[in-house]
Structure 1
């Protein structure tokens, strides 16, 4: 734990090998970490919601059903393209790693467009 904290607060003043962190330093280091943790937790929850049969992956059928329920006016071709883009190995399944990668990429694109 001490090593993790030392790495996180690497830029903070450390006299006599004791880590002293101000409130502002703590907030500036922890805010991005907590935001990422919250994001990953939301990604995990969304994945579980889309994995309708709790199989550990999202099938095309599960994805289609979820889209039909939540986005009834969504373009079918766009939906298929999104699924196939996420399905990196083309096996008809979107794994958690595939899903997380796509979600994080979408967030990165959205953030860079602001």
Structure 2
């Protein structure tokens, strides 16, 4: 109905956010902008993160966010704030999905996965996959080769898989290899 040019500039920085989330983020920005400066100082930013995510960002995280902004400003502008919040939300959702998948594999709630857990899961979702392939996947994911896959090992494998999918999609799209 509306072209992307007709949308307010602030909406472009929050792709994937619902209108109610976007509104909430803008309201939090305004509530935390002490003195209506038009930007969030380091302390304002910390309060905003507490309001939205329920934790106080570490000094390292706050410094990272403050250095990623335009050096000509004294703080984080609304557009930058919306972009930061969107990225944090996406990362949080991805972590939650990864945890959910891991928990589905961890049928005995042990906090780790065994080869047997992998075999049962793959039998359910890919019954025709050769047993050798399941063993290869397990060995690949078991980073320290101790016969157990921790959530950390699993998360690394999922993240690596995401990067490989993105790389292969890029290569397919542009008809090139990643090494070019």
TM over 0.5: yes
Structure with more contact order per residue of length (Cα contacts < 8 Å, sep ≥ 6): 1
CA RMSD of aligned residues (A): 1.9
Cα-to-partner distance string for 1:89-112 (whole Å, 9 max, x where unaligned): 222111111101100100111112
Query: Over alpha carbons, which structure has the higher Rg?
Result: 2
Q: 1:21 to 1:54 in 2, by over 3 A?
A: same
Q: Per the alignment, in what secondary structure is the counterpart of residue 113 of structure 1?
A: helix
Give structure 1 regions of 4+ aligned residues with deviation exceeding 4 angstroms: 2-6
Residues 1:21 and 2:77 are matched in the alignment: yes
Structure-1 residue corresponding to 2:145: 90
Aligned residues: 109
| Deviation at residue 73 of structure 1 after TM alignment | 1.5
| In 2: Cα distance, 1:25 partner to 1:61 partner | 46
Q: Which runs of 5+ in 2 are unaligned?
A: 1-45, 48-58, 170-180
TM normalised by structure 2 equals 0.55
List alignment gaps of at least 5 residues for structure 1.
Answer: none
**Match status 1:8 vs 2:80:** no
Counterpart among 68, 81, 91 of residue 36 in structure 1 = 91
Cα deviation 1:27-86 (Å, max 9, x = unaligned):
322322222211111111111110111111001111100110111121221111000111
